[in-house]
Amino acid sequence: MKSIALKDVRSKLPPLSDIKTLREHARKDIENGAVTSGYAADRKNVITMLNEALATELVCVLRYKRHYFMAAGIHAAPVAAEFLAHAAEEMSHADLIAKRIIELRGEPNFSPDGLAARSHAEYVEGDSLKGMIKEDLIAERIAIESYREMIAYLGDQDPTTHRMLEEILASEEEHAEDLSSLLEGMKDYEKL
Ligand SMILES: [Fe+2]
Ligand SMILES: [Fe+2]
């Protein structure tokens, strides 16, 4: 077998900084914590974007909680259980986003002032069980679109935020699927 020269292997490696440069960069601006000089995204824009995502998640928590208690009141136990599970997952998304904002040296905005305006999704109470499920599905579809756009905006400039948003996106897609199955199930029920 033909041996490969080290020079050829090196030329195939991605362009990495040498050890000295890496160490120098790490020592500079140490107060920036996890944000190093190699951070390629516009940090302020990313924080603003993440704060909008945080508001969206918080509005979704509130809407799902309202729907959970309303559905529980009309004895729709399986649907109520789904709403409650989604509320908990939206809260965990909010926590992930807030933690990332801190890592990026920003401040997570939990203020109720202007919360609905900062959120992409809306807080709609819904007038029936079906109406609630529909509104939740619409909100999930909004979240899916906005997370997809955020992921595309980031590209490879901030891999950690990128990966977190991809995980959240996958979860929102599951939520949308759960809700559309519930709606489908109701159609069968209505036929009886
Ligand atoms: Fe979420
Ligand atoms: Fe969701």
Helices 77-103 and 43-73, axial angle in degrees (round to 10) = 160
Residues near ion ligand 2 (Cβ under 5 Å): 140, 172, 175
Cα-to-centroid distance, 89 and ligand 1 (Å): 6
Cα-to-centroid distance, 190 and ligand 1 (Å): 30
For 74, other C-beta atoms within 10 Å of its C-beta total: 12
Question: What pLDDT is stored for residue 85 in this prediction?
Answer: 98
Question: What pLDDT is stored for residue 1 in this prediction?
Answer: 47
- Chain-centroid distance of CA 144 in Å reads 9
pLDDT string in tens for the chain (192-residue length): 455 565 565 566 667 788 888 788 888 878 888 888 888 889 999 999 999 999 999 999 999 999 999 998 888 899 999 999 999 999 999 999 999 999 999 999 999 999 999 999 999 999 899 999 999 999 999 999 999 999 999 999 999 999 999 999 999 999 999 999 999 988 776 665
Q: For the purposes of burial, counting CB atoms within 10 Å of the CB of 2, is it exposed (0-12), middle (13-18) or buried (19 or more)?
A: exposed
Q: What whole-number distance in Å separates Cα of residue 114 and Cα of residue 116?
A: 6
Cα-to-centroid distance, 164 and ligand 2 (Å): 14
Q: What whole-number distance in Å separates Cα of residue 127 and Cα of residue 136?
A: 12
3-state secondary structure of 162: helix
Asked whether 146 and 53 are in contact (CB, 8 A), the reply is yes
pTM: 0.86
Integer angstrom CA distances of residue 87 from 16, 84, 93, 160, 172? 43, 5, 10, 24, 12
Question: What pLDDT is stored for residue 8 in this prediction?
Answer: 64
Please give the angle made by the CA atoms of 188, 66 and 127, to the nearest 5 degrees. 50
Cα-to-centroid distance, 90 and ligand 1 (Å): 4
Show Cβ contacts of residue 73 under 8 Å, excluding neighbours closer than 6 positions.
Answer: none
Asked whether 44 and 99 are in contact (CB, 8 A), the reply is no
Question: What pLDDT is stored for residue 38 in this prediction?
Answer: 82
